[in-house]
Structure 1
């Protein structure tokens, strides 16, 4: 098995938000807590391909997940 890519290899150096993960982020999970945030407010978790589903599910079961976008969209297409 190859070691995980070094941080900074993804779009604009974004790193996955998964616990202990240092892989480049390829996805942005946009969310908010409707009890705390205005409807338009979006917070962002970053995810590599491996952690996208787990992190999305975590947010979705709480009713927080609003959208999932490629990480490149978060950096204006820069990679």
Structure 2
């Protein structure tokens, strides 16, 4: 897999690599160079953070505490009296 480095020295880690290492935003990544001159990428689990979740929809599921009926909600949003 090939990626391009920006003028700031930044690269995007390809999705298959991120998936294989289970990297999510906030994950710590360690780089090293082995004896053959190859760059080795080591992924570490993200620190426990209640906002870091793999599925944003699952995180939001069940959060509403008001049971709206569709007709009532539509009337409220449309300003119908």
Give the number of the structure whose residues are more often strand, by fraction.
1
Larger RCO, structure (CA 8 Å, separation 6 or more): 1
Relative to the length of structure 1, the TM-score reads 0.22
